[in-house]
Structures are given as structure tokens and as C-alpha cells.
Amino acid sequence: MAAIGALALVAAAGVAAFYSVAGDAGNSASCSAARTTAKRMSPLARGEVAAVQVNAAPVPTPDLAFNGPDGAPTSLSAFKGRALLVNLWATWCPPCLKEMPSLDALQAGLGGADFQVVAINIDTRYLEKPKKWLAERNIATLPYYADPQAKVFQDLRTARKVEGMPVSLIIDPEGCELAILQGPADWASPDAKALISAALKR
């Protein structure tokens, strides 16, 4: 909790640019087609993923910026065309660590050309610690994304009133936020896979 409090003291930056969807950046009307997907997902937010909040009216997701596996800057817009489960995690967050193996399993089971788990580490100190933690637990399917300034958390906090960790977003291929979960989940469970498959029309 102390670490979360420290993050809250960081000056919240303005929300990053929104995806440009159908030439209408930042306009919730541009996500009207995602409503059908959200409607299909809604009854599947149950069991292990009952706390997932499916958006009846999906909106464009902030184009969160972070570093890729090679350390180079990237952002969510680089993944346009694929559905995403975006997860923010840190080694100081026990619930985050608990769900990492299930995120790895979800990526191994459903990841591919049309779906990607984007787990973004926001540790701001001892930057080799997260990589070491993952390696020691054989979590090898997830590409390593990181934001050592933790600005991605602040941008999401500003845009979606997120208060704690972990937090996960389900985003459609056009960059529209279909659902959000504040807290952990068993992402390898049948309930989670059914919810994600609905987002993928599987």
C-alpha cells in the first residue's frame, strides 16, 4: 500500500493521445462497433472473472506509452489490429505476482496474430528484479514490457480513475476498451478464456 501511495504522489501527467479509430480520435462514437462485442462478453463476466466490468459503451483507450522487450519506446497503438489484455504489475504488489503465471498461461494458450497479453511492469527501482522474478518462475511466454517511470499507471489513473494494482484492460483490435478489472484474476481459468474468446469472436 505504501508503494501505491507513493505512486499517487507522482504528479499526474495529462492523458496520452487516444487511438485514432476510423479517423475520429478520442471520440467515443468511434467505438460504436465494439458495443456488439461488449454485449457478447457481458454474460461471461462470471466465476473467476466476475469482477470484470464490461463497458456497455466502449471508449477509446489512452495510447499508453512504455518500453518494449528491446528497451525501445513503444505504445498500445503499435498493437492495433490485435485484441489485447493489458495488465499493469509490479514486484511490490503481491496480488500482481500471484496472477502472473496465469497471464503467462493465457498468452501461451490464446496468444497469436489476433490476441496478445501485454503485461507492463512499473517497478521504479531495482529494475533487474522483475526480470529475475519472472525467470525464476519460468514465466517465459510473456514478452517483457516495462515503464520504470510508472507514468503508464498515472495516465490510466487519470483516464479511468484507477486507484490500485493490479489493473487489467481488455481492448479490441481498434483500440476500444471493452472491459476493465481492478484487482487480480485467474486468467488461465475456463471463465477467463471464455471471456477473452468472446472478445475474439471465437
Q: Considering only CA atoms, which of 15, 14, 4 is closest in space to residue 124?
A: 4
pLDDT tens string 41-70: 999 999 999 999 999 999 999 999 999 999
- Where do the domains of the chain lie? 2-199
The CATH homologous superfamily to which domain 2-199 belongs is: Glutaredoxin (3.40.30.10)
Residue 24: the pLDDT is 36
Q: Considering only CA atoms, which of 121, 198, 110 is closest in space to residue 165?
A: 121
pLDDT tens string 144-171: 999 999 999 999 888 877 888 999 999 9
pTM: 0.84
N-terminal to C-terminal alpha carbon distance within the chain = 38
Local confidence pLDDT in tens for the 202 residues of the chain? 444 444 433 333 333 333 333 333 333 458 998 999 999 999 999 999 999 999 999 999 999 999 999 999 999 999 999 999 999 999 999 999 999 999 999 999 999 999 999 999 999 999 999 999 999 999 999 999 999 999 999 998 888 778 889 999 999 999 999 999 999 999 999 999 999 999 997 6
73-75 and 53-60 strand pairing: unpaired
